[in-house]
Homo-oligomer: A and B are copies of this chain.
Amino acid sequence: MNAAPASARNDKPAVVAAAMRVLADSGLPGLSMRRIADELDIQVSALYWHFPNKQALLAAVSAEIVGAGSAAGEMDAVARALRDRLLMFPDGAEIVSSSLALGLLELPARDDLATAAQAVGLDAAAAEVAADTVVHYVIGCTFHEQQRVHAAIVGAADASVDMTPAGIGTRPDGFEAGLAMVVAGVRAAAGAKK
């Protein structure tokens, strides 16, 4: 066994792990600094020794959600893999979207998508645009779907909410159909280039 410390104190990864647990069973609305601190049986203020602010902690959570490893493959495969990771945690898309926009997160899938786009015939600049476009589509679509889940939960508690408004993407296979169109657009851009 490794030398156990006298008092069991927490390090950065332990704080992130606690945050993942809170996220998993309470979602983003429940992911407060106080709830995370409670999970670790420490005071809220102690969290600020590990992270300068909540956004930084959320960025670490985001990195955990999207994972570290690069996965090669065709564009749709990479897109589906990204989506699957976002779906693993409640509000995953929203958290990642915000960290990404704030410039606090590296997205491995973005490089994978750019590589796949180049393999299909795009030059470097166009491949970046293609990667960003696919990322926006995947995150936008998944974000929307996950918020809808949340609305459904609230709606179940409060039956007065109309649960079938004329909205976007009610059926889950909308993702696949839309993705096919986006990928077809990338291929078309490659074809036009030649």
Contact residues of A with B, CB < 8 Å? 97-98, 100-104, 106-107, 110, 126, 129-130, 132-133, 135-137, 139-141, 143-144, 147-148, 151, 162-163, 165-169, 174, 177-178, 180-189, 192
Contact = CB atoms under 8 A, between A and B. Distances in A.
Contact of A168 (B110, B137, B182): B110
A154 B168 CA distance: 33
**Consensus secondary structure, chain A interface:** helix
Contacts of A168: 100, 107, 110, 132, 135-136
Residue with the greatest number of chain B CB neighbours at <10 A, chosen from A126, A136, A141, A187: A136
A180 B184 contact: no
Given A103-B167, A144-B100, A147-B101, A129 B189 contact: no
